[in-house]
């Protein structure tokens, strides 16, 4: 899939923008704070109807204006389609698919498939487990429609169990929550294990390509329960809540369960979080995140559009080259601050745009 045209009116620092992309490498270059990321944000918004920068819709409207408009024309195997969104200060946002207004956001979300890699994703390896859980949950939300639902049920029951642990209520009620947590938790753990298995194969291959065969990336699910069968997971989870009740009462929170899950990452046999260099950690984060491309291809039958925000500057020239080589066949829109690095890279089928203060000029 690729985006052919993007139109923006009063979106972030753009008053009026109309650009055409090619189905190859599209390079947006410019100094800091000119509007490069804003363009990627707009494209990603057309896919998810929300910003990847976790901001409120209103913040996307150009300062001093009342409405922002984004339109994208996309092409997939089956033909062209368009997505339009009107974001307004006063009313709910309006979204159109092929010019027809849609009442349900779910009719619009996911038509355009986009994978965005932003500098924040570079934290995936070196930071705490929360970042990695969020990564897995986000991926699963995209491919398993019920996942988000079970996750919210689990979190609700967890919140209630934790409240009970801290209060003077009848502790026998805790068993009700243990059963609920085991029920919802087993769905979450089962899908996480299955997903990580799939991901581990893909990211290992991808990582070999970027590092020219020098590094072996291995990922593993780390949780309180590891079973293939969902009923076994449920039984074991239930037992682990039961067995930890004394400890939980002392601590005042639930100490076992998928809320503590993590993804272990090894590079050439050692723990990447503790031992890998900065560049190695970044490369591993890229391999993990970009494996999503293959997973989406497997689910949808077509490659997504890849948005790379400021990724190149973090890698040495060889890794940059291998990364770009392994991404052939996709539409890529990437941002960079310096044009110099590009000269050293061999892009075929490229279009270069210079971004200056909310305006875009075609360079090549
Ligand atoms: P960097 O290289 O530093 O990442 P960038 O080119 O990616 O820079 P953007 O994040 O796209 O820069 O933002 C460019 C500018 O957009 C910001 O400096 C900010 O002043 C401006 N901006 C952000 N939101 C709005 C808004 N709602 N209205 C007007 N301007 C905005
Ligand atoms: Mg930026």
Q: Is any atom of ligand 1 closer than 6 Å to the C-beta of 37?
A: yes
217 bridge partner residues: 267
CATH number belonging to domain 2-113+302-362: 3.40.50.300
C-alpha angle 238/241/246, rounded to 5°?
A: 145
Taking phi over 0 as left and psi of -120 to 50 as alpha, with beta for the rest, 210 belongs to alpha
Q: Is any atom of ligand 1 closer than 6 Å to the C-beta of 62?
A: yes
Rounded alpha-carbon distances, angstroms, from residue 248 to 234, 243, 253, 255: 19, 9, 5, 6
Q: Whose CA is nearest to atom 1 of ligand 1?
A: 32
Q: Whose CA is nearest to atom 21 of ligand 1?
A: 13
Residues of the binding site for ATP: 30-37
Interface confidence (ipTM) of the complex: 0.99
Which ligand has the nearest atom to the CA of 53? 1
pTM: 0.88
Say which residues have a Cβ less than 8 Å from residue 149's Cβ, sequence separation at least 6: none
pLDDT 10s per residue in the chain (364 long)? Answer: 999 999 999 999 999 999 999 999 999 999 999 999 999 999 999 998 989 887 899 999 999 999 999 999 999 988 999 999 999 999 999 999 999 999 988 889 889 999 999 988 888 999 999 999 999 998 888 778 789 899 999 999 999 999 999 987 787 889 999 999 999 999 999 999 999 999 999 999 999 999 999 999 999 999 999 999 999 999 999 999 999 999 999 999 999 999 999 999 999 999 999 999 988 999 999 999 999 899 888 888 899 999 999 888 778 888 888 888 888 889 999 999 877 766 667 778 899 999 999 999 998 7
Q: Is any atom of ligand 1 closer than 6 Å to the C-beta of 90?
A: no
CATH topology of domain 123-275: Glutathione S-transferase Yfyf (Class Pi); Chain A, domain 2 (1.20.1050)
Which ligand has the nearest atom to the CA of 116? 2
- Which residue pairs from 283-286 have beta carbons closer than 8 angstroms and sit at least 24 positions apart in sequence? 283/207, 283/210, 283/211, 283/215, 283/315, 283/319, 284/124, 284/125, 284/207, 284/217, 285/121, 285/122, 285/123, 285/124, 285/125, 286/117, 286/121, 286/122, 286/210, 286/311, 286/315, 286/323
Q: Is any atom of ligand 1 closer than 6 Å to the C-beta of 356?
A: no
**Nearest to 196, CA basis, from 136, 236, 244, 149:** 136
What is the distance between the alpha carbons of residues 323 and 300, in angstroms, rounded to a whole number?
A: 23
- Domain locations in the chain? 2-113+302-362, 123-275
What is the distance between the alpha carbons of residues 161 and 108, in angstroms, rounded to a whole number?
A: 37
Task: Give the other-Cβ count within 10 Å of 328's Cβ.
Answer: 11
C-alpha angle 124/129/130, rounded to 5°?
A: 85
73 bridge partner residues: 5, 82
């Amino acid at each position: 899939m690729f985006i052919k045209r993007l139109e923006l009116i009063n979106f972030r620092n753009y008053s009026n923008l109309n650009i055409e992309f090619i189905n190859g490498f599209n390079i947006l270059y410019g100094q800091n704070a000119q509007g490069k990321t804003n363009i990627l944000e707009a494209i990603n918004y057309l896919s998810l109807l929300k910003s990847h920068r976790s901001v409120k819709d209103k913040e996307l409207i150009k300062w001093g204006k009342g409405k922002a408009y984004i339109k994208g024309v996309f092409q997939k195997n089956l033909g062209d389609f368009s997505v339009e969104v009107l974001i307004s200060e006063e009313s709910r946002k309006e979204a159109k698919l092929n010019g027809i207004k849609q009442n349900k956001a779910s009719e619009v979300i996911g038509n355009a498939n986009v994978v965005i890699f932003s500098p924040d994703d570079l934290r995936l390896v070196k930071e705490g487990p929360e970042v990695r859980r969020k990564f897995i949950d986000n991926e699963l939300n995209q491919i398993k429609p019920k996942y988000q639902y079970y996750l919210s049920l689990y979190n609700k029951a967890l919140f209630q169990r934790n409240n009970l642990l801290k209060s003077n209520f009848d502790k026998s009620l805790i068993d009700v929550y243990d059963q609920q947590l085991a029920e919802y938790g087993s769905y979450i753990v089962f899908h996480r294990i299955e997903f990580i298995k799939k991901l581990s194969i893909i990211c290992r291959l991808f990582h070999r390509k970027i590092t020219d065969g020098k590094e072996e990336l291995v990922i593993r699910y780390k949780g309180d329960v590891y079973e293939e069968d969902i009923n076994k997971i449920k039984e074991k989870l239930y037992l682990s809540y039961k067995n930890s009740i004394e400890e939980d009462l002392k601590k005042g929170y639930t100490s076992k369960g998928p809320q503590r899950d993590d993804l272990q990452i090894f590079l050439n046999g050692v723990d990447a979080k503790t031992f890998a260099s900065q560049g190695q950690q970044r490369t591993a984060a890229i391999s993990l995140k970009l494996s999503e491309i293959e997973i989406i291809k497997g689910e949808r039958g077509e490659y997504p559009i890849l948005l790379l925000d400021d990724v190149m500057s973090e890698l040495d020239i060889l890794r940059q080259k291998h990364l770009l080589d392994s991404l052939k066949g996709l539409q890529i829109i990437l941002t960079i601050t310096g044009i110099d690095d590009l000269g050293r890279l061999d892009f075929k089928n490229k279009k270069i745009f210079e971004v200056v203060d909310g305006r875009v000029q075609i360079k090549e």
